Amino acid sequence: MRLIDKHKNFIYALVIIVLCFFVARNDSRSLLNILFLNVLTPVQEKVTDGGSWLVGRKDYYFNLAHIYQENNRLKKEVEELQAANYSTVEVWAENKRLRELLAYREENRQFTLITAKVIGRAPGRIKNEFIINRGRVDGIKENMPVVTADGLIGSIAMLYDNSAKVNLISHPQSSVGGLVQRVASRAVGIVGGEVIDGQYLKVSKLSRDADVIVGDKIITSGFGGIYPKGLLIGEVLKVENADGGLLKYAIIKPSVNYDKLEEVMIITNVNTLPEVVGNNLLNKPIGEKK
């Protein structure tokens, strides 16, 4: 009872407002209806606007969350597609390299070849040495020549059971007899053991009157017993007179890109080859038919 007495005035006011509301509804032209509309309509508009704003914010955050999820899904799909693309490109590149090695094997059947993968290398612009995944158990022996379809790389320098170290012809301890492939020249010199400007090789011990010009192809001469005759070494870029004036030398660009070596081949039957190999040239001397 005390609670009712305490709020008696509020209850009276509420009853009056409700009565006025019903009266106003029944007489659209009454003063009460006009006052009611003028007072409550703005309030109703604010409430309506507020509700619309809340609905709008809800839709905004819902859409934002949906966009975020969709973005993550698309990013994942792109990453998966990129990974698949990289894998496809890698397989394609490996197949291309292996086809080139196979073609070289078919064109040079006088060689017994074992294919190996490069599994380690030393730093530097020209890698003087690297490791392959073939060794004693595969029949590999020291000093066996190592080649690719592009030409000569070097030779086996150290053996392990399942791997081997290869010294490139640029290695300080390496050297190979070089021969100008051009028929009109056939000048001879020594290649290897020195790198020029970090990427070129030097053909030294050329006689002063040796016929060597820019663009000549340098191949192995077959002298020395390690490398068979006719393996491509590189192309002459420059010819200079050596100190003293009795000899000259040539700067050559290697035919093999040492930075991209992934698979190589080891020639295992050099000792059984004839002194002059018939078809072991990547590029026959000018004037000769393949």
**How many Å apart are CA 170 and CA 290, to the nearest integer?**
29
CA angle 257, 259, 260 (to 5 degrees): 75
Backbone angles phi, psi at 238, to 5 degrees: -155, 145
Question: Between these two residues, 12 and 66, which has the higher pLDDT value?
Answer: 66
The tens digit of pLDDT for each residue in 38-96 reads 555 555 555 455 555 555 565 666 677 777 777 777 777 676 666 656 566 656 666 77
CA angle 117, 282, 98 (to 5 degrees): 30
Q: Give the lowest-confidence range in 21-25, 85-89, 265-269.
A: 21-25
What is the DSSP secondary structure assignment for residue 133, as one 8-state letter? S
**pLDDT band (50, 70, 90) for residue 22:** low
Give me the pLDDT at residue 285, please.
41
Half-sphere CA count of 62, side-chain side, radius 13 A: 6
**What is the residue type of 283?**
N
* Nearest partner of 170 among 260, 252, 235, 264, judged by Cα: 252
Crossing angle for the helix pair 8-26 and 31-107, nearest 10 degrees? 90
Q: Count CB neighbours of 61 within 10 A.
A: 10
pTM of the model: 0.64
Residue 258 has pLDDT above 60, yes or no: yes
CB proximity list for 31: less than 8 A, separation 6 or greater? none
Question: Between these two residues, 97 and 115, which has the higher pLDDT value?
Answer: 115
- Tokens coding 198: 């970090």
